[in-house]
Structure 1
């Protein structure tokens, strides 16, 4: 006769309403998924970031002069760092979900006793670790090659963390919405990449015409890039505290949307 031992063990792992064992397992899966192909998920972004910095330094750097009182290469370096974090955090969550849907094994994630908020947190864990690993590696490279330190470490850490959360949540929303790889590629190419490139990565928004400058202020990516720039070189176009407030609000909004879609089973359940 069954004595309920397994049920008691699972119950002790839940600590009330939270399934910590399931959450830990999902987070570990998401982290191991990108570590298994680290040359593609970690090494390749570092090479791409280095090429961006090298090309812009050679093509524009000598003629551009200082920007905000710092060399042009120092100005664009934090933007390239944040842009890389954005791309990788988005790719981690979106690819995980859309691949599971296309292969038909998304049910393996939905069937375990995990709540919608636990699923959101589990997926975000992978995005945060991947984005953070890329950020640390790029910063170490910048410190060794350009001698760039951290003017405000807590601000730099906060904006990298918020960036990984926001774009990781955005990746979940995109992955849930997309039904096939073509749709996912369209979202990446026509939404994420333009927003990342046109948010002050390679220029100061103060150089834009007034209309474009005002439009840029409605783009959360702008505050992420500008905030990391403030954390790294101590210079920013916007008030970093305002940027923190906007980014926190954006994270809450996108994670709530992701939670709602998972909770309702939108495009997840047949």
Structure 2
């Protein structure tokens, strides 16, 4: 599908499909919340995955692949099938983004589902069942939270005295010089990267930086929501992300309105670690 065809296509049916599926998976995950679900460890014992993750993943895959058998499938909790690279469209899914927070009783975890066409998301949904929030967006439409339009913060980072509310990992905070750092007000850590990006889209955070090693499933749904809310998610070269490639990992990322992201990129210095 060409870029023009992607831009002109009506994605509302796909958006309605993934919103309904994410809602069902979210309700299923919520039934496990606070119930001490069984937990396993992956990635050498670094990342937890629970029975709730697997149940939500199975729910999403059953609904979505039955409805769109020709679409590819990429999920954090499924074995990667590289036939997705040949598909015109691919579902990109994280059944519970923020599993650590979920297991720790935090409410700000989400079910993340996107449709990617070519290399970019064209529809995305983030469902936060424990908060009762649903974020949606599609190509050509607005970004919505619970059916109401949202817009990113207009803070551009250029006004020398204005504070900037950022969710900033400690490992990246030291990459700004002292003068710029003094203007940054770091928000509390948010276990779910997708939810953090949704807060940027909604204007509740001015921006965020993402440390290396995030994945397509963490980002794709939030990316289209950010874009339709007037924000951008860019890499350290100022480029938009490409999805559904053989490698689904990403480097250091910057999110906020385009002016702010430009400021952050200019201010971001080399690592001071030896």
Common fold by TM > 0.5: no
Structure number with larger C-alpha Rg = 1
Q: Which has the higher contact order (CA 8 A, sep 6+)?
A: 1
